[in-house]
Amino acid sequence: MQEGRVLLERLRKLLLSRSTAKWVIVGIFIGIIAGFGALALYFSIKLVTEYMLVGLTGFTPPVSGASGGVPNYVIGHFRMFLIPVSLVLGGLISGFIVYRFAPEAEGHGTDAAIKAFHENNGKIRRRIPIVKMVASAVTIGSGGSAGREGPTAQIAAGFGSFVADTFKMSDHDRRIAMAAGIGAGIGSIFMAPLGGALLSTEILYRHDFEVEALIPSIIASVVGYSIFAYPFHYVPLFTIPQGTLLGFSHPEGLLVYTAVGILAGLGGILYVKVFYGIQKLFSRMKRVSKYFRPAIGALVVGIIAMFFPEVLGLGYGWVQQIFYNNLVLLPLYLLIILFFLKIVATSFTIGSGGSGGVFAPGIVTGAFLGAAIGIVIHPFFPFLNVTEITIVSMIAFFGGVSKAPISVLIMGTEMTGGFALFLPLMLSTTVAYFVSGMKNSIYSAQVDDRSSSPAHKLEYDRPIMDDILVKDAVKTNYLSVSPESTLKEAAEVIKKTLTNSVMVKDGSKLAGLLSIEDIPKDVDQSTSLVKDYMNTDPMTISPEENIHNALDILTKVPNGKLIVTGDGGVVIGTIGFSEIADAYNREIRRLKKLKASQ
């Protein structure tokens, strides 16, 4: 028992340290949850699909190669008039679960995780991952047009936030842990570990990267993928039949791939405009309870699906049929219709408040577009086949609309095994990224770059912060205890500080720091003394340092406060984020007045 406590204490100290080694442990934890969470979601969707969509309507959608998809799929007889029933029932259940227990779980989970990173220091309520998983399984399993990546990302990101909170890690570390969860979740569910890891750094911004999250994300994504892909024997998500020629051997093909990028970019604009237009439409339905809005959206999707069941669910199986060259099932006219209808179905499913991701529908929509282009251009460019154009189009489409072209490009090669198409993918995805426009992103919570993120704002005010000294921002009224104080007395003072620690002073000098975690539960706190349990070497800062350096240190300490000490260890006061912000705002006001007087 004692050895367990010692081990836990060592682990806690490592996670609170500035050592990069802690991210190996955190990454493994997050990866394990991401992998098992992805499996739980996968089989939950499969179970709900069997009982709702298949059970009620008799319609069995095709699946991807990794899930057992077979060539020459044929749509069998199904009860088309019961499709809206399945969807509306799913919308009612999903709406109740989400708005009763966690309204933040509505819509696509990746966007919610991105917003938490920028605006809430990576904090995600503990109930959200579970609510998201159940609601998404019902939405998708009943036939809703949505993806698995958003829920999986939110499950793993939520666990990353939970780990950080449990071990009282800093806000900075919580954000990194949460970002690693996004990468691990998406990398697992798409069986694309490298792309998922890169996505966690790229998806937060429209044109920037969160570089610090890369190593934790790689570790978490590798672990998550290893767990999730085990039942599927580590094959790619989509199967490319043997004998299908993939590659780049004709330079004139670059003209075609440029055109594919342009069309994918324009299609991406349509996707974003329709999606947020419908979402705005539902947000204006003030007289309709939020509980019922997903059911209304589901009804619209159900009516569409009565005649075009290809819009139901994930849609991976239809992409797989394109790769199997089953174009009798998906002729040109139908592919063009499905391109538009998949956008509409996804927008009504998620925009109404249904729970699910936008990544998978984006991939499927791009595939419908690419297959249509491939059929049209193949007679003129016979060295290009439909499968090649489909792969390039689906990746370019979502790479542009997600504003994460590099990571989505890598994911595309991992999902299909189409590494020979790397050059065409690079060209088309880059073209689509620029054509779709910097502001047209399917993830509305993205910001332009690190300097635009509230999480990093103070870091980019460095010129001003370098001129402000700690002594000009220090808080001189603070609470402290003596080394001779009892642990009980110290615990009472800690409650008053509204933090998890209290300064220990011996006269005017700093003696140490006592955290609430340093106080054992199995000792008599009324007789045990602070000096026997305090940290005698706490983090401090000189009053002559600038507040930018103070901010750098603060992002890596768990209690959000630094002790300011002068010569001989004499305590001057404390400094935290609020003191830095106040000093910064005072300097801004001073500079504005100075400029106005000139």
495-510 residue pLDDT tens = 887 677 889 999 899 9
Q: What is the rounded distance in angstroms from the CA atom of residue 347 to the CA atom of residue 557?
A: 43
Dihedral, 26, 27, 28, 34 alpha carbons, nearest 10: 110
Give the pLDDT of residue 45: 96
**Unique residue bearing structure tokens 């984006």:** 362
Give the pLDDT of residue 120: 84
Could you tell me if 551 and 465 are in contact, meaning their C-beta atoms sit under 8 angstroms apart? yes
- The residue type at 313: G
Among 198, 195, 183, 189, CA closest to 229: 189
Digit-coded pLDDT (tens) for 209-234: 998 899 999 999 999 999 999 999 99
Give the pLDDT of residue 518: 81
Pairing mode, strands 571-576 and 561-565: antiparallel
Q: What is the rounded distance in angstroms from the CA atom of residue 257 to the CA atom of residue 249?
A: 13
Helix (H, G, I), strand (E, B) or coil at 245: coil
Question: What mean pLDDT is predicted for residues 31-49?
Answer: 95
Digit-coded pLDDT (tens) for 411-466: 999 999 878 899 999 999 999 999 998 888 999 889 888 878 887 776 666 677 88
Using N-to-C axis directions, what is the helix angle for 193-202 and 214-228, rounded to 10°?
140
Give the pLDDT of residue 1: 53
**Unique residue bearing structure tokens 């990571």:** 407
Sheet with 561-565: list strands edge to edge.
Answer: 540-541, 561-565, 571-576
Give the pLDDT of residue 5: 60
pLDDT at 237 over 70: yes
What's CA 138's distance to the chain center, in Å?
Answer: 21
- B/e letters for 438-466, b = 16+ CB within 10 Å, e = fewer, are eebbbbebbbeebeebebbebeebeebbe
Question: What mean pLDDT is predicted for residues 347-368?
Answer: 94
Residue 47 pLDDT class (50, 70, 90 cuts): very high
Domain 457-597 sits in CATH 3.10.580.10? yes
Report the run of H or E that residue 195 belongs to, with start and end.
helix 193-202
Residue 256 pLDDT class (50, 70, 90 cuts): very high
Give the pLDDT of residue 3: 59
Q: What is the rounded distance in angstroms from the CA atom of residue 561 to the CA atom of residue 548?
A: 14
Residue 492 pLDDT class (50, 70, 90 cuts): confident
Residue 245 structure tokens: 């020629």
First to last CA, the chain: 70
Give the pLDDT of residue 25: 87
Percent of the chain with pLDDT over 90: 58
- Ranges of H-type helices in 102-170: 109-119, 128-141, 149-166
Among 368, 383, 364, CA closest to 255: 383
Dihedral, 91, 96, 97, 103 alpha carbons, nearest 10: 100
Residue 274 pLDDT class (50, 70, 90 cuts): very high
Residue 44 pLDDT class (50, 70, 90 cuts): very high
Digit-coded pLDDT (tens) for 108-147: 778 888 888 888 888 888 888 899 999 999 999 999 999 9
Residue 590 pLDDT class (50, 70, 90 cuts): confident
pLDDT at 2 over 60: no
Helix (H, G, I), strand (E, B) or coil at 292: coil
Backbone angles phi, psi at 542, to 5 degrees: -80, 150
Among 346, 450, 348, CA closest to 398: 346
- Ranges of H-type helices in 378-421: 386-401, 405-416
How far lies 371's CA from each of 145, 264, 315, 364, in Å? 20, 12, 14, 10
Give the pLDDT of residue 451: 79
Pairing mode, strands 501-506 and 540-541: unpaired
Provide CATH code, domain 14-452. Answer: 1.10.3080.10
pLDDT at 4 over 60: no
Digit-coded pLDDT (tens) for 535-556: 888 889 999 999 888 888 887 7
Handedness of CA 387, 395, 110, 554 (dihedral sign): positive
Among 339, 362, 367, CA closest to 350: 362
Q: By mean pLDDT, which of 43-47, 55-59, 265-269, 418-422 is the weakest?
A: 418-422
Give the pLDDT of residue 553: 86
Give the pLDDT of residue 350: 95
Q: Where are the domains of the chain?
A: 14-452, 457-597
Residue 591 pLDDT class (50, 70, 90 cuts): confident
pLDDT at 581 over 70: yes
pLDDT at 14 over 60: no
